[in-house]
Amino acid sequence: MSLRVFVTGGGRGIGRAIALRFAKEGARVVVAARTSDELDRVVGEIDAAGGKGCAAQLNMRDHGSVEAAVFRAVAFLEGAIDVLVNNAGVFGVTPFEELELGEFERFLDVNLVGPCLVTMEALPALKESERAHVFNVSSTAGKRGYPGGTAYCASKYGLRGFGDALREDLKDVGIRVSTIYPSATDTKLFDGVPGDWDRSTMNEPEDVAEVVWRGYQAESGYEDLDVPPPT
């Protein structure tokens, strides 16, 4: 049976690359995001790569939207999820003195509460898999702070703690949990973000996708996965 994969934030960037990496292995892949035209394009790419794709619109700040997206995914994947990738996220740089509470809450909602909601809704389908694996895409900002990153770092540190505790809660039912720590990766998240970003030195989304794929294949050492710097 082909792998059954659900990727949030799958319309572009890291999520798209992860979806296509599993598609190359013949997986059935559901990609979820807010933008329908991006999702439709990725579904076509999944099919062309050798997998079978499905799109599910998803707003990470809307519990009802999360429920509907997971329901669609589980139906397409015929009742079980082998790989859940919590990748959807927002990024930005705002000095703390300029940070508004609403922006801080938005980062927590999308980057931390959202993955929790998705995992809650997906848990019954994960339990139907013989080798289920949850991947939470954090960041090196989940290990150390940087100027202007109070909101983003708080959300990614939180995702790290969520993953560490979730691993303990789910190990007895055979569900593995990994946290991925990419460094700066050349995606549209950096478009319009103030700062002097040398995107030529960043990782590519495919670098992260390969780490996720190898993490799924690993029998041990899969818990915390760093993305090697570009060569």
Catalytic residues: 152
Structure-token pair, residue 207: 């670098």
52-57 β-sheet, strand order: 52-57, 28-33, 4-8, 83-86, 133-137, 176-181, 224-226
AA identity, residue 158: G
Query: Cα separations (Å) of 42 from 23, 32, 67, 199, 202?
Result: 11, 10, 22, 23, 23
Q: Spell 67-96 as b/e; 16+ CB within 10 A means b.
A: ebbbebbbebbeebbbbbbbbbbbbbbbee
How far is 202 from 68, CA to CA, in rounded Å?
Answer: 35
On whether the CB atoms of residues 8 and 87 are closer than 8 A, the answer is: yes
Half-sphere exposure at residue 193, Cβ-oriented, CA atoms within 13 angstroms:
20
Compute the distance between CA of residue 132 and CA of residue 49 in angstroms, rounded to an integer: 23
Q: Which two three-digit tokens encode residue 160?
A: 């790290």
Q: How many CA atoms lie within 13 Å of 145's alpha carbon, on the beta-carbon side?
A: 10
